Amino acid sequence: MGASMLGLIQNETLKLMRRRRFLVVILILAVLIPIFTYAQFKTVQTAQERLGTSDWRSLLQQRIVDNQNRLASSRMPEEWRQWLKIQIAQQQYYLDHNIDPSAPSGVTFSRGFMDQAVGLFLPMIIVVLAVDLVSSEYSEGTIKLLLTRPVRRWKVLASKYLTLILFVSLTVLSALIMSYVISGVVFGYVGWDMPVLTGFQVVGGELDTSTVFMLPQWQYILLQYGLSWFVCLVVGTITLMVSVLVRTTAAGMGIMMAALISGTILTQMAQSWEQAKYLFNVNLQITDYLAGSLPPIQGMSLPFSLTVLSVWGIVSLIVAFMVFTRRDVTS
Amino acid sequence: MADVVLSVAGLVKAIGGKRIIHDITFEVRAGEVFGFLGPNGAGKTTTIRMLVGLAAPDGGDILIGGESLRNQFSRAISQVGCIVENPELYKFMTGRENLELFARMSGNITTERIDEVVEFVDLTEAIDEKVKTYSLGMRQRLGIAQALLHKPKLLILDEPTNGLDPAGIRELRQFIRKLAEEEGLAVFISSHLLSEIEMMCDRVAIISKGRVISVGSVKSLMEQFADQVDFQFTERSVDQGVQVLRQIPYVTEVWTLTEGHVKCKMDVERIGELNQSLVAAGAEVIGIASKTVTLEDLFLTLTGGGDAHGSEHAGTHSK
Ligand SMILES: Nc1ncnc2c1ncn2[C@@H]1O[C@H](COP(=O)(O)OP(=O)(O)O)[C@@H](O)[C@H]1O
Ligand SMILES: [Mg+2]
């Protein structure tokens, strides 16, 4: 008697696939990534026309010399010296391994793609996946069949959540694979070992470079996609809660899109409204911490954003389970 | 007496602070078709939602096969198959996929059982088509297949004939009788149509404004209404007609209604004989009809207000 969790997940997966949700996600990626690739290609082309392509080695050589000269001059704070040394090491590595740092590769493209996608594009895709997970059962009336089986309600919702986690993971993985494979056609499939700088810290509103170190690009990407996966998971969890609370897909979609887009707007104009940093939607640009750009609001850091997102995720999950297991089904 | 499969005691429910269900109590036994009869808005669907675990009662107990729905949800609900309101299924999947889905939720259901149920509801040909291509009747049957899949002891159907054509209704009726008589299922059916309950059910609970006002066998209920005849007289001869009727020994009761209608209890076989007496006495009879009992009549009788101003529907005697 009763159902196994695996059987329930199988059911949810089947429903999600049959509703073509994942197919839509893959199609969106398959259409947009080539467009971004082409845009990137044009940018590179324009840059190369301006600067010329052949002399990147001498340009890099020149920059190393410049940095060394600055290093040699006295009256420089210790952390600046540190920063210059790391930059020189990176540039030297590029030179030694014959890597043109400004030339795009499939791997670099994937990295840049996620930097751009994690704030809005990817969360939107996750919303498409998750928004009608529960609300559609209510609007189509199938909830009546789902909840009159010998399966406890928490187990029904848990199976939906686990299925969501599965598809969030598949989506992030697909984004990586597709951006690498598609852009690689144009830019080549190299660049996994290229060193990338990370480890920036923000101290008192200033970027602190004293803790910066080099990381092979594949490790960087692993870190970056891992963090993005977490962002997507939290957005998915919040969407699941909304899906439990509202009755129609349109309402859920509206709420989530408004939240995501207002987050993007807030990150651009909320410098003076410090409390905004506790909203989940201004904490989505999580890969920026790796790349070392200044956060949109003072007091934000990687651990801070991870904490805010975790709290939102946990609270959403609790609300979703409480409401779903207690609420009467009426029509 | 057969086992009690469903026992409901003192069920109470309020929605938004307003009491909708007041103290509902009844029992349903194995092998019987039990009707739940009441007009729209009486609280049938609300009660059924509580019986299948979709809504939590504010008070009272529901036992299914002796297991408490509240404390032993899985064990209790696994003995129930139901369709609440419309047969809602996943339209974007085939009939078979739907059944497989529910099979996985109930556990221990073989593909042979699925085939068996599909055959039982006569959907073998269409089972691999998407549900969105099904007619309402086919959806109804798939809904029943879904409800029967895990061999429940109790089948709960909420107004199952809604939207079906007369042929579909007849088919469903035979089907339900067969389930109760041959498979020994307890079937609980709600309806707002007396005629439907009368044809399908063994026993009936009558519900009005959230209260059960009567529980009993359909036969004894209908007997109260046997042999009623409606005479219509011209305005000026009503009084005379009533006088005659009261004097005839085989007319046992007489009620004066509006617009010249007079209802009386008598042997239907003797209508012609009575008519002759009326004509002979000079009462102008302009219509005679043996009555079809309506839900309104039933309520008026049960609540004791059925004397003078009942709404009357003339019809031909159909039994
Ligand atoms: N969700 C709800 N909120 C408020 N009132 C409700 C709700 N559902 C049902 N009711 C009220 O409860 C009463 C019984 O409704 P229902 O059980 O659907 O009746 P039936 O199925 O017998 O037609 C009606 O008066 C209806 O207005
Ligand atoms: Mg109803």
Q: pLDDT tens across A218-263, in order?
A: 999 999 999 999 999 999 999 999 999 998 999 999 999 999 999 9
Chain A CB contacts of B97 below 8 Å? 14, 18
Q: Which of residues 120-149 of A touch B (CB under 8 A)?
A: 140-142, 144-149
Question: Residue A310: its pLDDT value, please?
Answer: 98
Residue B213: its H or E element: strand B211-217
Tokens representing B256?
């004066």
CB burial of B214-224 (b: ≥16 within 10 Å; e: otherwise) equals beeebeebbee
Residue B60: its H or E element: strand B59-64
A19 in contact with B, Cβ within 8 Å? yes
Q: Distance (Å, rounded) from C-alpha A32 to C-alpha A38?
A: 10
Q: Which atom of ligand 1 is nearest to the CA of B46?
A: 17
Q: What does the pLDDT look like over A168-192, one tens digit per residue?
A: 999 999 999 999 999 999 988 988 8
Strands A201-203 and A206-208: antiparallel
Residues 6+ apart with CB under 8 A from B33: B176, B177, B180, B187, B189, B200, B201, B202, B203
- Pocket mutation for ligand 1, best pick of B46, B52, B157 (most atoms within 8 Å of C-beta): B46
Chain B CB contacts of A24 below 8 Å? none
Q: Which atom of ligand 1 is nearest to the CA of B20?
A: 12
What is the SS3 assignment for A293?
coil
Chain A CB contacts of B85 below 8 Å? 141, 144, 331
Considering chain A, what percentage of its residues have pLDDT values greater than 90? 58
Question: Residue A16: its pLDDT value, please?
Answer: 95
Size of interface A-B (CB pairs under 8 A): 94
Domain boundaries, chain B: 4-222, 228-318
In short, whether B45's Cβ falls inside 6 Å of ligand 1 is yes
* Ligand 2 center from residue B18 Cα (angstroms): 18
Interface probe, candidates B105, B109, B158, B188, chain A, greatest A C-beta count within 10 A? B105
A11 in contact with B, Cβ within 8 Å? yes
Q: What does the pLDDT look like over A35-86, one tens digit per residue?
A: 999 998 888 888 778 766 567 788 888 888 888 888 887 677 777 777 788 7
Q: Distance (Å, rounded) from C-alpha A134 to C-alpha A237?
A: 12
Residue range A87-92: mean pLDDT, rounded: 82
Q: Which of A103-112, B39-48, B72-81 has the lowest mean pLDDT?
A: A103-112
Domain covering B228-318, topology: Alpha-Beta Plaits (3.30.70)
What is the SS3 assignment for B265?
strand
Contact B84 A18 (CB under 8 A): no
Cβ neighbours of A184 (radius 10 Å): 18
pLDDT, chain A, mean:
89
Residue B59: its H or E element: strand B59-64
Measured by CA distance, the residue closest to atom 4 of ligand 1 is B15
What is the SS3 assignment for B238?
helix
Question: For helices B238-247 and B271-280, what crossing angle results, to 10°?
Answer: 120
Interface probe, candidates A144, A153, A329, chain B, greatest B C-beta count within 10 A? A144
Q: What residue has token string 């920026």?
A: A288
User: Amino acid identity of B115?
Assistant: D
Question: For helices B95-106 and B136-148, what crossing angle results, to 10°?
Answer: 20
Q: Which of B35-44, B265-274, B290-299 has the lowest mean pLDDT?
A: B290-299
- Pocket mutation for ligand 1, best pick of B15, B85, B206 (most atoms within 8 Å of C-beta): B15
Question: Residue B308: its pLDDT value, please?
Answer: 36
Helices (H), chain B: 44-51, 73-77, 95-106, 111-120, 136-148, 166-183, 194-200, 218-223, 238-247, 271-280, 295-302
How many residues belong to chain B?
A: 319
A253 or A101, higher pLDDT: A253
Cβ neighbours of A72 (radius 10 Å): 8
How many residues belong to chain A?
A: 331
The distance in angstroms from the start CA to the end CA of chain A is 29
Domain boundaries, chain A: 3-54+102-326
User: Amino acid identity of B275?
Assistant: N
Is residue B307 very low, low, confident or very high in pLDDT (cuts 50, 70, 90)? very low
* Ligand 1 center from residue B21 Cα (angstroms): 9
pLDDT > 60? residue A102: yes
Cβ neighbours of A35 (radius 10 Å): 9
Question: Residue B226: its pLDDT value, please?
Answer: 66
Q: What does the pLDDT look like over B231-256, one tens digit per residue?
A: 888 888 888 888 888 888 888 788 88
pTM of the model: 0.86
Q: What does the pLDDT look like over A134-165, one tens digit per residue?
A: 999 999 999 999 999 999 999 999 999 999 99
Q: Distance (Å, rounded) from C-alpha A78 to C-alpha A73?
A: 12
What ipTM, to 2 d.p.? Answer: 0.85
Q: What does the pLDDT look like over B131-178, one tens digit per residue?
A: 999 998 899 999 999 999 999 999 999 999 888 888 888 989 999 999
Q: What phi, psi does A215 have (nearest 5°)?
A: -135, 135
CATH number of B4-222: 3.40.50.300
Q: Which of A121-130, B273-282, B284-293 has the lowest mean pLDDT?
A: B284-293
Q: Distance (Å, rounded) from C-alpha B21 to C-alpha B235?
A: 44
Question: Residue B316: its pLDDT value, please?
Answer: 34
Measured by CA distance, the residue closest to atom 1 of ligand 1 is A330
Helices (H), chain A: 5-18, 21-51, 56-72, 78-96, 106-117, 121-130, 135-140, 143-146, 153-187, 217-245, 249-269, 288-291, 302-326
Q: Which of A206-210, A216-220, A266-270, B49-53 has the lowest mean pLDDT?
A: A206-210
pLDDT > 50? residue B319: no
Residues A16, A167: contact at Cβ < 8 Å? yes
* Ligand 1 center from residue B46 Cα (angstroms): 6
Q: What residue has token string 């060193």?
A: A195
